[in-house]
């Protein structure tokens, strides 16, 4: 299915292809810019027909070129927001603090695919001593998700983020208040402090900032991983993430 972004990119691509062919044909002999602009209507129609015929005979160039344009657009968006993406909330990170590659995960504790993906992230952390992982709470699956995200940020403030995070995902039960508070106790969080943090405006604003950042990057669901100049959405698995890490490391 072609998304709105793909459709817009497709239109832009058609214009670029048309311009490229026009330039190619118009410059078979050296001409000035003024001459190039003075192409007659009949010549323009001929060029457009050539472009159309070429695309019809080689339709595979359209998705390929759209994918290339998408990659460039994603890389530009990531680059313009890189500091905000990669700077963790207090203790919401793991791995090498000076790692040469940073994997940023947008996740929801109510998401079964995030639970599955957490095992892949843990494996990558064990295997790669130069990897840094930053977690961004992205609660998009209802009020219980948001409450868990608030507790998660409280755990980060208390220096126990990883313990809370892993316990949340290792517990297969449906996320509800009973599970949340059992995990809070099991992770050794201060219950009074955590209860207070669940009402803190500052933590609410941090979550809102994560949601806004994710939407700016075009992320609509969880999990989503930002690695180098790429965004991987969904349960992509260990190998896809490792490939993206290797690509980011090569530059």
pLDDT at site 165: 97
Distance CA 230, CA 121 (A): 16
Domain of residue 49 covers 4-80
C-alpha–C-alpha distance, residues 26 and 37, integer Å: 9
Same domain, 116 and 52: no
pTM over 0.75: no
Within this chain, do residues 116 and 220 fall inside the same structural domain, yes or no? yes
Measure the CA–CA gap between 58 and 50, rounded to whole angstroms: 12
Q: For residue 69, what pLDDT is reported?
A: 58
Q: Please indicate, yes or no, whether residues 54 and 173 belong to a single structural domain of this protein.
A: no
Phi-psi sector, 234: left (phi>0), alpha (psi -120 to 50), beta:
left
Same domain, 115 and 73: no
Average pLDDT per run of 10 along the chain, which is 251 residues long?
46 49 42 56 82 78 64 74 92 96 97 95 97 97 96 96 96 92 96 95 96 92 94 95 96 81
For residues 136 and 227, state if they share a domain: yes
Note whether 54 and 91 are same-domain residues: no
What is the model's pLDDT at position 224?
Answer: 96
What's the structural domain count of the chain? Answer: 2
Residues 76 and 87 in one domain: no
Q: Are strands 101-107 and 131-137 parallel, antiparallel or unpaired?
A: parallel
Count the neighbouring beta carbons within 10 Å of the beta carbon of residue 50: 15
Same domain, yes or no: 50 and 148: no
- State whether 21 and 109 are in the same domain: no
The verdict on 74 and 88 lying in the same domain is no
């Amino acid at each position: 299915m072609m998304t709105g972004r793909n459709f817009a990119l497709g239109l832009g691509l058609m214009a670029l292809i048309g311009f490229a062919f026009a330039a190619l044909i118009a410059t078979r002999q050296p001409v000035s810019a003024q001459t190039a602009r003075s192409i007659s209507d009949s010549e323009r129609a001929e060029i457009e027909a050539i472009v159309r015929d070429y695309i019809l005979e080689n339709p595979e160039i359209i998705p390929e070129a759209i994918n290339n344009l998408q990659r460039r657009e994603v890389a530009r968006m990531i680059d313009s927001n890189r500091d905000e993406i990669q700077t963790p909330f207090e203790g919401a990170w793991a791995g090498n603090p000076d790692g040469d590659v940073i994997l940023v995960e947008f996740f929801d504790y109510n998401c079964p695919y995030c639970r599955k993906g957490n095992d892949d992230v843990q494996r990558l952390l064990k295997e790669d001593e130069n990897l840094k992982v930053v977690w961004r709470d992205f609660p998009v699956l209802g009020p219980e998700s948001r409450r868990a995200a608030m507790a998660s940020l409280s755990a980060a403030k208390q220096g126990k983020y990883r313990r809370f995070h892993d316990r949340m995902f290792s517990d297969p039960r449906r996320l509800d208040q009973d599970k949340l508070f059992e995990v809070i106790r099991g992770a050794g969080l201060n219950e009074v402090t955590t209860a207070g943090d669940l009402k803190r405006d500052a933590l609410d604003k941090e979550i809102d900032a994560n949601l806004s950042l994710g939407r700016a990057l075009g992320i609509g669901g969880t999990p989503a991983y930002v690695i180098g100049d790429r965004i991987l959405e969904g349960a992509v698995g260990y190998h896809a993430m490792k490939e993206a890490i290797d690509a980011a490391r090569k530059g």
